[in-house]
Amino acid sequence: MADFIPLSVPNLRGNEQKYMDEAIRDEWVSTAGPYIKKMEEQVAAFAGVQEAVACQSGTAGLHLALMELGVTCEDIVLVPTLTFIATVNPASYIGATPVFMDCDDTLCIDPQKLREYCEQECEMRDGVLYDKQYDKRVRCVVPVHVFGNLADMDAIMEIAETYHLMVLEDACESLGSRFAAGRFAGRHSGTIGDIGVFSFNGNKIITTGGGGMIISRHPEMLAHMRYLSQQAKNDPFRFVHDEVGYNYRMTNIQAALGVAQMEQLPGFVQIKNDNYAAYLQEGVPLWPFREDIQSNRWFYAYLAPDAQARDRLMAELEKRGIQTRPIWQLMHRLKPYAGCKTYRIEKAVWFHDRVVNLPCSTNLTREQIHRVAQAIREIMGE
C-alpha cells in the first residue's frame, strides 16, 4: 500500500531541535526564559503590532480575553455555530450565555444576520445592547477566521461600533492571513477587534506543541492579561497576589519550538498557498478563500454533494491511506450547548453536511497531492 498521507502534521525541519536543546542545556524549561520574550517579539513584529502575550493555548488566551473584555456570568456572547468548541467553552468557564450565529460563504460569521439579530432580537438601553428574550446584556462578539479565511471585519466592526459590542477575534487558525482591501487593508487577522488570539496547537500553521498568543489594540488590557496569566503575581519574592490569576503562561520549552517555527512562517504560508494552487491544477475544486485578502490558506475544504457522499468519500480515502476529516459538529447541536439560543442558522448546516478537509501539511509533496486528486476523481466518478 502507498504511504499514509496525514491530514495536517507539524513541520519541524528548522532550528527546533537546536533551540530546544539550548533551553534544556540552560535549564530554562518553565514559564520564564529568553525564548518566551523572543517568541512574543517575533509574533508582534510579524502581525505588525507593538506587543504580544504568550500563553499555554489558544483556549487559555480566549478565556483571558473574554474576562478582560468584561464578560461576566450576566452577559451574552455572540459566537458562530460553525467553529471548534474552544471558541465557545471560555464563555462557559465564565458562566456567560452563548447565542449562536450562522456563517456565510466564507464559512465565517454572517455579518448580515449578526446585524439582523441586534436589530430584531435586541434593544439598546442606556447605550447597552440587551437581548429581549433573555433580558441580558450582549457584551461581545467572537468572529472566527475559519481555516485561515477572514471574517468580514469591515462589517463586523461597524456593527460593534453601532451596538457597543466588544470584539474578540478568534484568530487561532489565521496567523499569516491579512486584508488586502477595504478599511483594514494591510492589517493582519487578530489586530482589528479589541483582542485577538492565535493558537500554536500541533495542527496549526506553526506549532509550539501547545500554545497561544494574545494581541490587543489596548496596551493596558494586554498588560493585565499578562499579569493574570502568571498567577496575578505582584512581586516575584513575596507571594503577593491582588487578583485571582491563572497558570496560563507559555513555557520556555514551548517558546523555543515556537521561535524556530516563526523563522519559517513566511515560507509555510507560501507552501500552503502553493499546495492549494496545486490541488486546483489537479482539478480538485477546493472551496475558495476570499479574494480581497491574502490568506495563509491553512486548511483546504472540498465540498461533497451531500452528507452521504461526504461520508463515503472519507471512508474510501481512508482505505487508500489518505486522512481527511469532516468539519466540526455545529456547536448548537452539541450536548453542552443544545439548549442555547440560535439565530437563523441555515448555511452552517449546509456546509456541515458537505465539507471534507483534505491533507494540507506544509511537507505534503506534489506526488501526494496528485494521489489525493486521483483518488477523489475515482471515488466521485468525475
Ligand X SMILES: Cc1ncc(COP(=O)(O)O)c(C=O)c1O
Residues near ligand X (CB under 6 A) are 57-59, 83-84, 86-87, 144, 170, 172-173, 199, 201, 212
| Residue number with CB closer to ligand X (87 or 191) | 87
Tell me how crowded residue 270 is: count the other CB atoms within 10 A of its CB. Answer: 14
- Which residue's CB is nearer to ligand X, number 260 or number 331? 331
Alpha-carbon span 338 to 150, nearest angstrom: 27
Smallest gap, in angstroms, from Cβ of residue 54 to ligand X?
A: 12
CB of 68 to ligand X, least distance (A): 17
Select 174 or 368, whichever has its Cβ closest to ligand X.
Answer: 174
Sign of CA dihedral 98, 101, 107, 111: negative
Shortest Å, Cβ 190 to ligand X: 12
- Give whichever of 148 and 376 is closer to ligand X, judged by the CB atom: 148
CB of 62 to ligand X, least distance (A): 6
Helices (H), 69-187: 89-94, 111-120, 153-163
Q: Shortest gap between Cβ of 170 and ligand X (angstroms)?
A: 5
Residue number with the smallest Cβ distance to ligand X: 58
Min dist. Cβ of residue 212 to ligand X (A): 5
DSSP letter (8 states) at residue 327: P
| DSSP letter assigned to residue 44 | H
CB closer to ligand X out of 144 and 314: 144
In whole angstroms, what is the distance from residue 195 CA to residue 160 CA? Answer: 13
Q: Where are the alpha helices (DSSP H) in the chain?
A: 16-25, 34-47, 58-68, 89-94, 111-120, 153-163, 219-229, 252-281, 307-319, 347-354, 366-380
In angstroms, give the least distance from the CB of 164 to ligand X. Answer: 25
Q: Which residue has the cell 499514509?
A: 4
Between residues 122 and 151, which has the closer beta carbon with respect to ligand X? 151
16 vs 170, which CB is nearer to ligand X? 170
Least spacing, CB of residue 145 vs ligand X, in Å:
8
Q: Is 127 left (phi over 0), alpha (psi -120 to 50) or beta?
A: left
Q: Which amino acid is at 273?
A: N
Residue closer to ligand X, measured from CB, 172 or 222: 172
Chain-centre distance of CA 327, in angstroms? 14
- Torsion sign over Cα 222, 228, 231, 233: positive
Grid cell at residue 251: 513555557
